[in-house]
Chain A
Amino acid sequence: MQRIGVFICWCGSNIAATVDVKKVAETIKSEPGVVYSENYQYMCSENGQQLIKQAIKEHNLTGIVIGACSPRMHEATFRKAAEEAGLNPYMVEIANIREHCSWIHKDMDEATEKAVILVRTAIAKVKLNAPLQAGESPVIKRALVIGGGIAGIQAALDIADAGFEVDIVEKNATIGGRMAQLDKTFPTLDCSACILTPKMVDCAQHEKIDILSYSEVEDVKGFVGNFSVKIRRKARFVDETKCTGCKICMEKCPSKKGLNTFNMGLNNRPAIYIPFAQAIPNVAVIDPEQCIKLKTGKCGICQKFCGVGAIDYEQKDTFVERQYGAIVVATGFKPIELDAFNEYGYNDNKDVITSLELERLMNAAGPSNGVLLRPSDNEHPKVITFIQCVGSRDTSGCGKPYCSKICCMYTAKHAMLIREKYPDTQVNVFYIDVRTPGKNYDEFYRRAVEQYGVNYIKGMVGKVYNENGKLMVQGSNLIDNEQITIESDLVVLAAAIEPEPSVRKVATLLTASIDTNNFLTESHAKLRPVESPTAGVYLAGVCQGPKDIPETVSQASACAAKVIGLLVKDKLKTNPCVAMPDENMCNGCSQCANVCAYGAITYVDKEFRIGGGKTEIRRVANVNPAVCQGCGACTVTCPSGAMDLKGFSSKQIMSEVEAICKK
């Protein structure tokens, strides 16, 4: 037998001035199942709570309804009070008679009548409430970071410094990512390697960090606190534990015509190589497409010269499986392909390059040792023209609809560095808008114009063509309303950036949502910007949206804070208001899993009795309460009504509807 207690709050005069609280309490007394009904000035006060607790004990209440302010205000308070009195906290319902009643109505009779209905509705619901227990799930105190660029490195260091084990999985042979390819960084112009490589070394030396380079995530199972991840360790044909990074193999390798991808293909490298001098791990890798031994079986020179016997042509991909409590995705970006932008002649002219290629051309460790020479003839370019927004903000289908965010700043950087180092060079920049929000950013850009005399032209380039050995850049100057053609020696395209394509696979494995541009979606654009909607998965760097290094590092540290906050817990308390299928009704049709944004639903084959001593095996849905967030999307999609939501069950809502409509 249900024993419901009702408590009507005055909220001082906030409710009592418009709602006749005594009348409400009195009227409700006669509701079936109600054994206690009281009103009080401030239910949320210490005394009010005491009154509730006392009533629960004295009257053996099985459920309580509080007519008061919004549940968003004090639901937690009243639940706690109920729990302290020995009543399950989920046997509490709130009738919102303040925000939804007294505050919006003026007529006392009308408001009182509505308050009664709202309380009745809450009673109807609470009668169907079931005591719920918040579940618990264990937390594995180890984090996985996917991607070893600056975002992954920063996140890993912060997590490891807090005392947790971290694995970095990097698909390339070294960590460092895009930042390792950069020359200088804005807005302070420090050398990228000088600030990045110490962090890379920290990672390598940190006792809590394990770097799995040349590896990829192959499969992910589990959920927040308890992921199980299978990692493919690609064969690098060099024993990582033996190689000392002496580079003798690189010298001796006879196959030297591979494109140096680290240098954006601007020069060549041998088939066995270490991507760059400060690579971590400082271990060689063999490109099987290029290696003569691996292709033809003849050669083996590197093996002969290797002093420590690290070369192993027989090496195969291996797999490791590890458990993690949290996962950080930091897969980064790449510049877009420029095939759809032939008007800039990128494919036809060696001296039309991308900004990332320029970084390598200007870098002391680059193909020209830091001397800016143009690729076609190794001459110093005297006129350099930059073109902004190549493929960014493009809705024609050729490029990307978004702003790539970093180009304005790095172009100002490039322009300034060139003018600084080669004052006789003329530098032009065609721009649509110069976007420099950020601390010291606009000042930086203005310095390029005012101190370094960079020629910024508001307008866009329509055509780049080669005439008599010169690159003719024809574009508009909108401020002067003219069409100009600039004879240039080098043209630099600020190509749009896009998420590293491998992110799609990672997102699928993690059931993390991804937008139409392949950026991972955050849980809330404003308030949960580093969390993926999938619990336990966090986002750092450009995989979530275009951003520069300072922002990336901030986001990575934010991620780390979130991960640490998760890993310090021994167990996770789970929201008990989650979906729960009735296995006897479930068809295993998969409709519910199709709409679950969190991947909380899986299917299992289960044996059921079907009468007559017989059993049958049926596929039924299984909700992981640690992953389910309780939205209820699945409940509606379930054809048999097998899926229901605890705390908001179909019957509860139906009874609320009935109570409201009762005339």
Chain B
Amino acid sequence: MKISYYPGCTLRTKAKELDDTARLCAKALGVEMEEIENWQCCGAVYPMGTDEIATKLSAVRALDYAKHNGGKLLTLCSACHNVIKRTNEDMKTNEDICSRANNYLKLDEPYKGETEVLHYLEMLKNVVGFENIKKAVVNPINRKIGAYYGCLLLRPSGVMAFDNPENPTIIEDFIRAIGGTPVVYPFRNECCGAYVSLKNSELPKKKSEKVLASAKEKGAEEVITACPLCLYNLQVNGGGILPVKYFTELLAEALGVKA
């Protein structure tokens, strides 16, 4: 099957391995990720101010494109997912934002949040099915792995509806599907602090060390994430406590599709 895909700024550059492995794995699992045309950067952070419209337009454009191309929009980067999903919710439920955004965009038909935003992990779980992934694994990852969710995938849970915000299980289920042993540790849903790196370099250090130490204490041998920013922060600021990888890298390894 084909599915419209929004890569986002970082995946074309610094996080190329995330993008590459994701596409390869999807293909191996029978899903064709069709990159949408002329996508623009989503802005990497959801603007909460109630009068913010212009900053949401690139997300709406992508959503509208997907609406006419299969009705689903696949995301991979946690930040893109957060921005696009929350913007979509605005278009669905906030009449004011919806009508103003549509006034700007002048689409043939107003966009009202019809597209379903799907994270790659949700795609693996709901479209492919973890059971099917299990069957496709040729190279089981026989390691103890800590899932790092961070904040963007889970919160605000009312909108993101990704998983239980305090006790998520989707990445753990994923780890099991590729043959690994998930390690549950308390800081897997705590923010790594990367967003403020440019204003305060100390805070991200403290936070990422705490995350990795917590994972290590519970027995993890490595940590996986879906977010390029988290990956960068945990790798650079995490004091090298544990190796950090994208979850798709492990998936590629398990499926034996490593480029």
| B214 A343 Cβ-Cβ under 8 A | no
**B217 close to A (CB within 8 Å):** yes
Instruction: Say how far B164's CB is from chain A's closest CB, in angstroms.
Output: 6
**B13 close to A (CB within 8 Å):** no
**Closest residue of A by beta carbon distance from B213:** A467
| B167 A348 Cβ-Cβ under 8 A | yes
**Closest residue of B by beta carbon distance from A464:** B186
| A342 B167 Cβ-Cβ under 8 A | yes
Of A341, A347, A466, the contact of B186 (CB 8 Å cutoff) = A466
Taken residue by residue from 309 to 349, chain A's Cβ proximity to chain B (1 for < 8 Å, 0 otherwise) reads as 00000000000000000000000000000000111010110
Taken residue by residue from 338 to 367, chain A's Cβ proximity to chain B (1 for < 8 Å, 0 otherwise) reads as 000111010110000000000000000000
| B167 A467 Cβ-Cβ under 8 A | no
Q: Main SS of the interface on chain B?
A: loop
Q: Main SS of the interface on chain A?
A: mixed
| B186 A342 Cβ-Cβ under 8 A | no
**A465 close to B (CB within 8 Å):** yes
**B174 close to A (CB within 8 Å):** no
**A468 close to B (CB within 8 Å):** yes
| B187 A465 Cβ-Cβ under 8 A | yes
Which residues of A lie under 8 Å from residue B52 when comparing CB positions? none
Instruction: Say how far B219's CB is from chain A's closest CB, in angstroms.
Output: 12
| B217 A347 Cβ-Cβ under 8 A | no
Instruction: Say how far B65's CB is from chain A's closest CB, in angstroms.
Output: 34
| B164 A342 Cβ-Cβ under 8 A | yes
Of B165, B166, B187, B217, the contact of A468 (CB 8 Å cutoff) = B217
Which residues of A lie under 8 Å from residue B166 when comparing CB positions? 341-343
Which residues of B lie under 8 Å from residue A472 when comparing CB positions? 186
Taken residue by residue from 140 to 184, chain B's Cβ proximity to chain A (1 for < 8 Å, 0 otherwise) reads as 000000000000000000000000111100000000000000001
CA distance A465 to B214 in the complex (A): 10
Instruction: Say how far A226's CB is from chain B's closest CB, in angstroms.
Output: 50
Which residues of A lie under 8 Å from residue B167 when comparing CB positions? 342, 347-348
| A465 B186 Cβ-Cβ under 8 A | yes
Which residues of B lie under 8 Å from residue A465 when comparing CB positions? 186-187
Instruction: Say how far B105's CB is from chain A's closest CB, in angstroms.
Output: 33
Instruction: Say how far A574's CB is from chain B's closest CB, in angstroms.
Output: 52
CA distance A341 to B187 in the complex (A): 16
Of B164, B165, B184, B217, the contact of A467 (CB 8 Å cutoff) = B217
**Closest residue of B by beta carbon distance from A466:** B186
Instruction: List B residues 83-100 near A (Cβ within 8 Å).
Output: none
**Closest residue of A by beta carbon distance from B164:** A342
CA distance A463 to B191 in the complex (A): 13
Instruction: Say how far A462's CB is from chain B's closest CB, in angstroms.
Output: 10
Which residues of B lie under 8 Å from residue A345 when comparing CB positions? 186
Which residues of B lie under 8 Å from residue A348 when comparing CB positions? 167, 184
**Closest residue of B by beta carbon distance from A348:** B167
CA distance A467 to B184 in the complex (A): 12
**Closest residue of A by beta carbon distance from B184:** A348
CA distance A345 to B166 in the complex (A): 9
**Closest residue of A by beta carbon distance from B186:** A465
Instruction: List B residues 12-56 near A (Cβ within 8 Å).
Output: none
Taken residue by residue from 197 to 229, chain B's Cβ proximity to chain A (1 for < 8 Å, 0 otherwise) reads as 000000000000000001001000000000000
CA distance A465 to B210 in the complex (A): 13
**Closest residue of B by beta carbon distance from A341:** B166
Which residues of B lie under 8 Å from residue A467 when comparing CB positions? 186, 214, 217
Which residues of B lie under 8 Å from residue A343 when comparing CB positions? 166
Residue among A341, A347, A463, A468 facing the most chain B CB atoms (10 A cut-off): A463
CA distance A342 to B164 in the complex (A): 9
Instruction: Say how far B28's CB is from chain A's closest CB, in angstroms.
Output: 34
CA distance A111 to B164 in the complex (A): 71
Which residues of A lie under 8 Å from residue B164 when comparing CB positions? 342
**Closest residue of A by beta carbon distance from B165:** A342
Residue among A341, A348, A467 facing the most chain B CB atoms (10 A cut-off): A467
**Closest residue of B by beta carbon distance from A344:** B166
Which residues of B lie under 8 Å from residue A347 when comparing CB positions? 167
CA distance A466 to B187 in the complex (A): 10
CA distance A341 to B167 in the complex (A): 10
CA distance A472 to B165 in the complex (A): 19
**Closest residue of B by beta carbon distance from A472:** B186
CA distance A342 to B184 in the complex (A): 14
Instruction: Say how far B220's CB is from chain A's closest CB, in angstroms.
Output: 14
Instruction: Say how far A237's CB is from chain B's closest CB, in angstroms.
Output: 39
**Closest residue of A by beta carbon distance from B187:** A465
CA distance A347 to B214 in the complex (A): 19
Instruction: List A residues 460-480 near B (Cβ within 8 Å).
Output: 463, 465-468, 472
Instruction: Say how far A270's CB is from chain B's closest CB, in angstroms.
Output: 33
Residue among B165, B166, B167, B187 facing the most chain A CB atoms (10 A cut-off): B166
CA distance A465 to B164 in the complex (A): 16
Instruction: Say how far B103's CB is from chain A's closest CB, in angstroms.
Output: 33
Instruction: Say how far B132's CB is from chain A's closest CB, in angstroms.
Output: 29
Instruction: Say how far B77's CB is from chain A's closest CB, in angstroms.
Output: 26
Instruction: Say how far A390's CB is from chain B's closest CB, in angstroms.
Output: 13
CA distance A409 to B6 in the complex (A): 55
Instruction: Say how far A281's CB is from chain B's closest CB, in angstroms.
Output: 42
Q: Which residues of B contact A (CB under 8 A)?
A: 164-167, 184, 186-187, 214, 217
- CB pairs A–B below 8 angstroms (19 shown): A341-B166, A342-B164, A342-B165, A342-B166, A342-B167, A343-B166, A345-B186, A347-B167, A348-B167, A348-B184, A463-B186, A465-B186, A465-B187, A466-B186, A467-B186, A467-B214, A467-B217, A468-B217, A472-B186
Instruction: Apart from A343-B166, A465-B187, list 5 A-B contacts with CB within 8 A.
Output: A341-B166, A348-B184, A465-B186, A467-B186, A467-B217
Task: Name the 10 nearest CB pairs between A and B, nearest first.
Answer: A465-B186, A342-B166, A342-B167, A343-B166, A342-B164, A466-B186, A468-B217, A467-B217, A467-B186, A467-B214
